[in-house]
Amino acid sequence: MPKKKNRNTSPRSRLSTYLRKPAVQLGLVALVALVIYLIASSAGGSTASTLARDISVDKAYEMYKGGTFLLDVRTQEEWDEYHVPNATLIPLDQLPNRLSEVPKDKEIVVICRSGNRSKEGRDILLNAGYNATSVTGGIKEWYAKGYDIEGAPVQ
């Protein structure tokens, strides 16, 4: 005589049976892995830089024209002589105390006269969680390439 199926199985028993299927288990593992990946990738956006550590003047100019935040870390006297229009001046020695003036939600391109101080400024920003890069060759090369400038260097 065939065995009768028990129609009074509890929902918990049916769930347990369902969860024992290998395809269901694999699907759950994949779902958990996806959630972990999404959490990790979104959290990394604020601390990990997506920009190269150093970029060429040509790349910097392209980013500048696209609206990237350009930070000049030269002195006020150097700035007064000549600078990139719409750049923001925060001298390197003042940068650690003025980080609140730099937008944290944008890419930052740091420029100086020749490229040395901009590397220091970039590192200060990176250590503070900003997405920053520095311009190799600095504003001297920017000017030599004929890119936008207000003022002119003293010859």
User: What are the tens digits of pLDDT across the range 9-51?
Assistant: 677 777 778 778 888 787 878 888 777 777 766 654 444 446 7
Of 89, 139, 148, 83, the C-alpha closest to 116 is 139
- Of the listed ranges 41-45, 77-81, 119-123, the least confidently predicted one is 41-45
pLDDT at 5: 58
**Helix, strand, coil content of the chain in percent (nearest 5):** 50, 15, 35
Residue environment code for 39-74, b if the CB has 16+ CB neighbours within 10 A, otherwise e: eeeeeeeeeebebeebbebebbbebbeeebbbbbbb
3 state DSSP class of 150: strand
Which amino acids are annotated catalytic?
Answer: 112
Residue 59 pLDDT exceeds 60: yes
Of the chain, the percentage scoring pLDDT greater than 90 comes to: 63
Supply the pTM of this predicted model: 0.67
- Residues with Cβ < 8 Å from 79, sequence gap 6 or more? 72, 89
The mean pLDDT of the chain is 86
Q: 83 to each of 72, 116, 121, 139, how far by Cα in Å?
A: 8, 17, 17, 8
